[in-house]
Structure 1
Amino acid sequence: MKIGILGNGQLGQMLSDSVADLSDIEVSLYDLRAHSDAALDAFISSVDLLGYETENIPAAIVARLEAHADKLYPSLRALKTFQNRLLEKNALRAAGIATADFCAVNSLDDVKSAIQQLGLPIVLKTTTEGYDGKGQYVLRTPEDAEPAWAAIGGRELIAEAFVTFSRETSVIASRDREGNMVVWPMTENVHHEGILRYSLFPAAGLDSAKAEQAERYIRQLADSLDYVGTITLELFDTANGLVANEVAPRVHNSGHWSIEGAETSQFRNHILAMAGKPLGSTAARFPAVAMINVIGDETPAAAADGLDNAFNHSYGKEARPARKLGHVTVVANDVAERDATIDALAGLIPAGVWTR
């Protein structure tokens, strides 16, 4: 079986690597940056199934996928839904999942109305293409309306009421064609300047009620869309329960720990789900795991090479500020060992961001 993935970045490569041991599955990657209609048509014709490493696919390519929707996983419906934050929020609400209050914004007057409707502070976001903190503006006073619109306006936006939360978490699941679903343990995620810096398993102090709520939410969401593949739900942990932040219809940075840290990685189960094969166990292989992103400079990641319980993944990218160049996974027999290892890798994390 030949599976084609639109995108040849690190996610596409890790998807391919995850099933390299399976002789009956071949994964090919399509370079979206070198796209032409003829190249895309030839690529689609050469594969049995089609997937994507990112939802940020140009509209012209999405339009060409319409004729091949029967072999696209996750579905075209899922792709279109999660490409747009307004459609995404409406899908979350329709699936019975709590979100921040929100409204559409298409003009400066709409920004001012959103302030009146939602109160302050609010977060203004582009409805498409924003990631790692890009395309966002936090408004704290009414006077922020004009600079916010000047910074990211002129296009469809969404305004979201600010959510008071203690931390950010995520839950990741894979769902097969028959509706069977497996869910990985939740992680606690720490961001800096809009970029995920590290994820921790277990999420400290996570009570069973919230873990059950997260699993219920992601099952409701995936079932509502008849979703096939790996899906990620980012959640705010609040005093009143979990509130959905964003959805990724794909494997996710906060799940990279699963390569070494779980019985089956998020990448492998994504391909298995597409291929119609049984999903693997998502149980953690170690009592404590961490994933640390390598941002901007790979030099500090060399510290992992001398550690028996750290695994350095380089993406082979040219270094530049704020760019994800790789990640390091830490596996440990307990949280204390995990955190001590992170201390030894502290050069990967900006000062003050690692607080354990």
Structure 2
Amino acid sequence: MKVLIYGSGQLAQMMYLAAVPLGIQVSAVDVGNHTVVDPISKRSLELSIEDAIEQADVLSVEFEHVPEDLLEQAQSSGKLLPNSEAILAGADRVREKAVLSKLAIANSEHRIITQVEQLDEAVETLGDKLIIKASRDGYDGYGQWRLAHIEQLDSLKNTLSQLDLQNVPLIAEKMVPFERELSLVGVRGLQGDIQFYPLAENLHHQGQLHVSVAPAPDITENLNQQAQLAFKKLVEEYDYVGVLAVEFFQVGDSLLVNEIAPRVHNSGHWTQQGTDTSQFENHIRAITGLPLGNTKAKGKSAMINIIGCDDYSTDLLSIKNCHLHLYGKTVRPKRKMGHINLTGKTYSELAEVMTTLAKFLPIQAFPKLLDEADKLAAID
């Protein structure tokens, strides 16, 4: 069986690696130059996209920002999973907010901004603490602005007036005083069967995910039910097939959806060592019609992103329960270079591994690591 993935980055690479033991061939589309490539070497396969689509049994994506002409071509083949409607909802915050409202899924109060003057009304109705997001092409903290107090409004309006808001509207959200950020990664198969991974707790720095811990500590059954209900509503709405990630803000005993990601997700990388069946393998299983794999956590896990640096010691591989995953990229500020998965039987054991890991890292590039280790050490 052959799978064609749109996007040729690390997520396609990890899907390829998960598919090999299943006897499934994976190739990728470099959406920047419209070429079909090997997901590992990035070498051109000297194959047109049209021929690759014809040869493939199923098409999928590694990220939602696929150029719409390519997405339309993929959808017209009848082989795209998940479908383009779901992918576009993840790529466009206006569509995303619309489906959340339609399905009565709780999310942050917001206004859609197509001209800067509408920010005045947004402040009047939502207050003077706002986070403003580009509706498309924003990720890892890019395409976002904050209004912390009313005195900043005129300056912010001046900045945003330079943008084409008719073509790419903004979403002005009320800044939520959340306690923490959580994400649910789940998978739905061709026959509608669903498996959930445990909720993960995510720690961000400057708009980027730095650390995920799973299962997240202090998760009640009520929180689980809220997260899983939101997931089920979304996958049923789109007749979704594959892995879907839903990011939440926890506010007291309630969850508000922050974003949806119609693909394998950074906060699910811990599943590579933390479960029997990783999110990457389960995505391949789902879209090819294979039975879904076990998603239960084996113990406690942490995923630490390596961002914008390569001056760590590979001696970290000597640490028990430590696994390094590199993406083969050249260093650039804020670029995800790889990740490190850690496991332990308990949170305190996991914290001990995290503290040991810090000795092998330029700690200034991992600002969330030791604080999170201290928190986990106090749980057990």
Same fold (TM over 0.5): yes
The structure 2 residue matched to 1:154, chosen from 161, 164, 171, is: 164
Q: 1:36–1:150: structure 2 CA closer, same or farther, 3 Å change rule? A: farther
Q: Which of 300, 303, 307 in structure 2 is aligned with 1:288?
A: 300
User: Per-residue CA shift, 1:90-147, capped at 9, x if unaligned?
Assistant: 2122223110111110111012221112112111100011000110001122343343
Whole-Å separation in 2 of the counterparts to 1:116 and 1:150: 18
1:33 matched to 2:49? The reply is no
Matching residue's letter, 2:25 = E
> Could you tell me which residue of structure 2 aligns to residue 18 of structure 1?
18
Secondary structure of 1:342 counterpart: helix
The residue number in structure 1 matching 2:277 is 264
Show the counterpart of 2:354.
342
Whether the 8 Å contact between 2:247 and 2:258 is mirrored in structure 1 is: yes
Higher mean displacement: 195-204 or 295-304:
295-304
Q: Distance in 2 between matches of 1:179 and 1:236?
A: 27
Residue aligning to 1:326: 338
1:202 aligns with 2:218: no
Give the C-alpha shift of residue 63 in structure 1: 3.4
Q: Is 1:111 matched with 2:119?
A: yes
From the superposition, tell whether residues 352 and 170 of structure 1 become closer, same or farther in structure 2 (CA, over 3 Å). Answer: closer
Count of matched residue positions in the alignment of Structure 1 and Structure 2: 353
Q: Kindly provide the amino acid, as one letter, of the partner of residue 258 in structure 2.
A: N
Query: Secondary structure at the residue paired with 1:185?
Result: coil
Corresponding residue for residue 307 of structure 1: 319
Q: Does 1:273 align with 2:286?
A: yes
1:47 to 56, 60, 77: 56
Distance (Å, rounded) in 2 between the aligned partners of 1:354 and 1:157: 36
Deviates more, 1:34-43 or 1:86-95: 34-43
Residue aligned with 1:33, SS = coil
Displacement of 1:149: 4.1
Give secondary structure in 1 for the equivalent of 2:153. Answer: helix
Residue 14 of structure 2 aligns to which amino acid in structure 1?
Answer: M
Secondary structure of the 2:312 match is helix
Contact 2:210 2:368 in 1 (8 A): no
The answer for the alignment partner of 1:62 in structure 2 is 71
The structural deviation recorded for 1:326 is 0.2
Cα distance in 2 for partners of 1:66, 1:179 equals: 20
Partner of 1:2: 2
Aligned partner of 1:133 in structure 2 is 141
Match of 1:254 in 2: 267
Q: Separation in 1 of the partners of 2:140 and 2:367? A: 19
Change (3 A) 1:284 1:353: closer
**8 Å contact kept, 1:5–1:28:** yes
1:21 maps to a residue whose letter is: P
Partners of 1:208 and 1:28 in 2: CA distance: 40
Query: How much has 1:83 moved relative to structure 2?
Result: 1.2
Q: Deviations over 1:166-209 (max 9, x none)?
A: 11010010001211100001110000000000101221212221
The two structures have a TM-score, normalised by structure 1, of 0.94
Query: Are 2:72 and 1:72 equivalent residues in the alignment?
Result: no
2:22 counterpart SS class: coil
Aligned match of 2:206:
193
Closer/same/farther in 2, CA of residues 21 and 95 from structure 1, 3 Å limit = same
CA distance in 1, matches of 2:253, 2:270: 28
Q: Tell me, in whole angstroms, the C-alpha distance in 1 between the residues paired with 2:313 and 2:277.
A: 25
Task: Provide TM-score, normalisation by structure 2.
Answer: 0.89
Aligned to 2:178: 165
Identity %: 34
Checking the alignment, whether the CA contact within 8 Å between 1:300 and 1:345 is kept in structure 2 is no
Query: What's the counterpart of residue 153 of structure 2?
Result: 145
Q: 1:2 to 1:149 in 2, by over 3 A?
A: farther
- SS of equivalent to 2:20: coil
TM-fit CA distance, 1:7: 1.0
Give the counterpart letter for 1:125 in structure 2. K
Q: Is there any run of 5+ residues in structure 2 with no aligned partner, and where? A: 37-46, 375-380
CA distance in 2, matches of 1:145, 1:199: 34
Determine the C-alpha separation between the residues in 2 that align with 1:67 and 1:352. 44
Give the drift of 1:30.
Answer: 1.4
Q: Distance in 2 between matches of 1:316 and 1:301?
A: 16
Contact 2:132–2:173, Cα closer than 8 Å, also in 1: yes
Q: Deviations for 1:280-331, whole angstroms, at most 9, x for unmatched residues?
A: 110112x211000001112226242111210000100001111100000001
Give, as a single letter, the amino acid of the residue that structure 2 aligns with 1:237. Q
Deviation at 1:47, TM superposition (A): 1.1
Supply the RMSD in Å over aligned alpha carbons.
1.8
Give the secondary structure class of the aligned counterpart of 1:103.
strand
Return 5+ residue gaps in structure 1 as ranges. Answer: none
* Counterpart residue type for residue 209 of structure 2: L
